[in-house]
């Protein structure tokens, strides 16, 4: 660890700080994970998994008893498995796959970096990915599909690189194509694009395009075809494949220029790179060191860095020119940018000193803000309900002030201390913002709605009538309480309850009102 430590004592301290940072990042990802109620797309994923289990059919995703086309079933299987292991569809169970996906991706980064660059590179890159701001303070807290899909896709990149470097093309094609099939059955057609662009770009660069005409490549194609084709044939036993494929294509085309217009494209071309760097913070600061004329020759010194640059360039372009694309669509490319920035940082002595000074100043501002932010905790009105806010403020201040002190004394440790400060910030976030969301969230109202509806309906059949819509969170909690899923019904059954617009049942008394999207739905019982 000569790049970071000048003496054995410094090396020992640096290693212990790395271990502490790893422990804090790990702890922060799990702390209070299940506290805030489910929201956004989380209840949709959960209710689809609930319906698959209730139907005894894990081939066909349904939503309210109707075919659901927007996403294939793999993530629903993951949600179901997590619920089984954790003893139910709790918020913790829904979010556990997300956190595990982040950790598995970090393990891959550690292994790749350690093997193909150096130990510090592996360790730091494994820490920089999970603490990327957009992931760390937002998406890591959601039971959503994107970070699971990120892990599957990045694992495919890792297999492509590692087995090609080993000259084991059979394993390269087999594992890469198998993971692409899993990705296709998770999120659809984007996996085909990632697979095709990545394999073609890397084999072209390595002068191995002839490998595309080989039994090894055929084995990969067969693996992909058996998994995806086998699933589609099984699905066809219940519903026409054409319907499914048509919706998958439509879902992918929503991001194109044709769907969004030229002005959206111009805006997107400008904002997308800026949003990406912002989303990567604090690791995004390392890209300061990549601003150098000889960046290409720097990256060509190491095959993993060459691969990282080529994979990013080959795969980011379709999203950069698609105005509907969101940052979460390229999370699997974030590790490549972080690798480039980190490698340039490790070679910072080759460039002018202003870059490191700028990095130090910006890092110091972030760390100083953490110190001041800790002291502000007791004075934030929304946190009045927390009985431990003063001890938390004192503890947070002492921890962040210690990190800032080390920052002033050990300039060569700036990056590691920035990681530590970010981990402390996330722990404070876990102890404050997450309980506050649980305390004040709109989802509390959804829980109350679910409890009230269950109190009225009991074991009597209950349906959404025709196009009636209420909060997905309310439906999720209603499913939890009742132990069965809410279905849509276009017919009227005698004695059944319906969630409907009151004017659709003028002869029935409204037992309970549910406001949603400027409409007021009623719980009514058909005579």
Q: Mean pLDDT in the chain?
A: 94
pTM for this entry: 0.94
Q: What digits encode the pLDDT tens for the residues 307-355?
A: 999 999 999 999 999 888 899 999 999 999 999 999 999 999 999 999 9
| Residue extents of the structural domains in the chain | 31-348, 352-440, 443-525
> Is residue 1 very low, low, confident or very high in pLDDT (cuts 50, 70, 90)?
very low
**CA–CA separation, 383 and 373 (whole Å):** 13
Q: Tell me the two tokens of residue 250.
A: 């439509």
Q: What is the pLDDT of residue 257?
A: 52
pLDDT digits (tens, 9 = 90+) for 163-209: 999 999 999 999 999 999 999 999 999 999 999 999 999 999 999 99
Distance CA 179, CA 166 (A): 19
pLDDT at 402: 97
Looking up tokens 């075809």 gives 225
The pLDDT of residue 256? 56
| pLDDT score recorded for residue 10 | 78
Which residues, listed in sequence order, are joined to residue 512 by a DSSP beta bridge?
Answer: 523
pLDDT value of residue 247: 77
Residues 387-423, buried b or exposed e (16+ Cβ, 10 A)? eebeebbebbbebbbebbebbeebeebbbbbbbbbbb
| pLDDT, position 262 | 79
Task: Point out the least confidently predicted range of 142-156, 168-182, 255-269, 464-478.
Answer: 255-269
256 in helix, strand or coil? coil
374: its two tokens: 């800790």
Q: What is the mean pLDDT of residues 198-222?
A: 97
**pLDDT tens readout for residues 4-56:** 455 666 788 999 999 999 999 999 999 999 999 998 899 999 999 999 999 99
Assess whether pLDDT exceeds 50 at residue 2: no
Instruction: Determine the longest span between alpha carbons in the chain, in angstroms.
Output: 85
pLDDT score recorded for residue 4: 47
> pLDDT digit string (tens) for 241-298?
888 788 777 766 655 555 566 788 899 999 999 999 999 999 999 999 999 999 999 9
Q: Residue 441 has what pLDDT?
A: 78
Cβ proximity of 367 and 421 under 8 Å: yes
pLDDT tens column, 371-428: 999 999 999 988 999 999 999 999 999 999 999 999 999 999 999 999 999 999 999 9
């Amino acid at each position: 660890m000569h790049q970071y430590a000048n003496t054995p004592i410094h090396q020992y301290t640096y290693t212990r700080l790395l271990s502490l940072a790893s422990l804090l990042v790990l702890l922060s990802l799990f702390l209070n994970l299940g506290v805030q109620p489910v929201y956004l797309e989380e209840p949709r994923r959960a209710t689809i998994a609930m319906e698959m289990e209730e139907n005894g059919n894990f081939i066909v995703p349904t939503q309210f008893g109707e075919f659901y086309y927007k996403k294939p079933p793999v993530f629903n299987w993951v949600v179901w498995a997590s619920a089984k292991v954790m003893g139910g569809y709790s918020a913790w169970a829904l979010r556990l796959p997300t956190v595990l996906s982040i950790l598995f991706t970090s393990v891959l980064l550690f292994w790749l970096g350690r093997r193909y660059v150096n130990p510090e590179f592996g360790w730091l890159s494994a820490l920089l990915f999970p603490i990327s701001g957009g992931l760390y303070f937002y998406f890591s807290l959601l039971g959503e599909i994107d970070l699971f899909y990120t892990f599957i896709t990045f694992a495919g990149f890792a297999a492509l690189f590692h087995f090609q470097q080993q000259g084991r093309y059979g394993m390269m094609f087999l594992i890469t194509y198998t993971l692409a099939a899993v990705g296709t059955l998770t999120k659809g057609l984007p996996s085909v694009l990632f697979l095709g662009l990545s394999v073609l770009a890397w084999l072209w660069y390595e002068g191995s395009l002839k490998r595309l005409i080989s039994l090894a490549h055929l084995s990969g194609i067969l693996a992909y075809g058996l998994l995806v084709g086998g699933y589609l044939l099984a699905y066809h036993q219940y519903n026409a494949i054409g319907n499914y494929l048509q919706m998958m294509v439509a879902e992918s085309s929503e991001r194109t220029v044709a769907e969004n217009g030229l002005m959206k494209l111009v805006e997107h071309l400008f904002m997308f790179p800026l949003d990406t760097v912002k989303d990567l913070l604090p690791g995004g600061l390392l890209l300061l060191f990549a601003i150098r004329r000889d960046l290409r020759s720097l990256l060509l010194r190491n095959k993993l860095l060459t691969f990282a640059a080529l994979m990013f360039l080959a795969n980011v372009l379709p999203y950069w020119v698609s105005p509907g694309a969101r940052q979460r669509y390229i999370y699997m490319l974030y590790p490549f940018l972080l690798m480039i920035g980190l490698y340039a940082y490790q070679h910072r002595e080759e460039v002018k000193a202003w870059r490191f000074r700028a990095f130090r100043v910006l890092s110091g501002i972030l760390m100083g803000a953490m110190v001041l932010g800790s002291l502000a905790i007791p004075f934030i009105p929304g946190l009045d309900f927390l009985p431990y806010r003063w001890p938390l403020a004192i503890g947070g201040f002492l921890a962040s002030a210690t990190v800032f002190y080390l920052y002033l004394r050990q300039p060569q440790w700036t990056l590691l201390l920035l990681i530590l400060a970010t981990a402390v910030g996330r722990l404070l976030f876990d102890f404050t913002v997450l309980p506050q969301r649980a305390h004040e969230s709109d989802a509390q109202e959804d829980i109350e709605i679910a409890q009230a509806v269950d109190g009225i309906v009991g074991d009597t059949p209950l349906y959404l009538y025709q196009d009636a819509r209420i909060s997905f969170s309310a439906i999720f909690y209603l499913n939890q309480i009742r132990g069965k899923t809410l279905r849509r019904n276009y017919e009227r059954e005698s004695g059944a309850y319906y969630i409907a617009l009151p004017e659709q049942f003028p002869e029935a008394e409204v037992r309970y009102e549910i406001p949603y999207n400027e409409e007021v739905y009623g719980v009514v019982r058909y005579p």
